[in-house]
Structure 1
Amino acid sequence: MQWLWAIIVGFVLGLIAKAVLPGKQHQPLWLTTLFGMVGAILGNAVASWIGVAETRGIDWTRHLLQLAGAIAVVALGEMIYMSVRGGKKGTA
């Protein structure tokens, strides 16, 4: 069940990250979900490192760090994805 939640959270964070980033991202939806999952893991690691991973109530700081991680990973992943694909924009 934890993997299902990880996929759902990764999907949502990946889509939000794509919406926040300027321009069009060309990576497929499954890769966006994977990037969102990696960003959430990165955000959780940073939250643990600075000591805000577990608080009472809603962990707003942790969630914002997860989103920031997802934005960073989606942006970096888009650059890598386009360089691997040869920079061909508009093709599927």
Structure 2
Amino acid sequence: MGISGIISAIVIGAIIGALGRLLVRGKQNISIVVTIIIGIVAALIGTWLAQQVGVAVTDGIDWIEILLQVVLAAIFVIIYASWAGKRR
């Protein structure tokens, strides 16, 4: 993976993570770095799941794949926020 792939992963991760945080109600005490990491992980897992189901083989924008990634990011935000809240 080149530098452009790393930058793309960070940008897409930030977008997916931010959209995931928007879906979760209430205030989350999560830094932007954690949001990006959650977004990157959700994007990777969401893409893998979409490929397993056969959704990622369409022409154009894969809306179902993006929706799956955002929902996974929201789930990961909930899990991390509850875990981080218990640590404090």
The reply to whether TM is greater than 0.5 is yes
- Name the % identity: 31
Structure holding more helix per residue: 2
Aligned residues: 85
- Deviation sequence 1:31-58 (CA, Å, 0-9, x none): 0110111111111121011111221111
Unaligned 5+ runs, structure 1? 87-92
Cα shift at 1:63: 0.9
Q: Pick one of 75, 81, 86 that aligns with 1:78.
A: 81
Q: What stretches of structure 1 move > 3 A for 4+ residues in a row?
A: none
Aligned residues: CA RMSD: 1.1
Unaligned 5+ runs, structure 2? none
The answer (yes or no) to whether the contact 1:39–1:72 under 8 Å persists in 2 is no
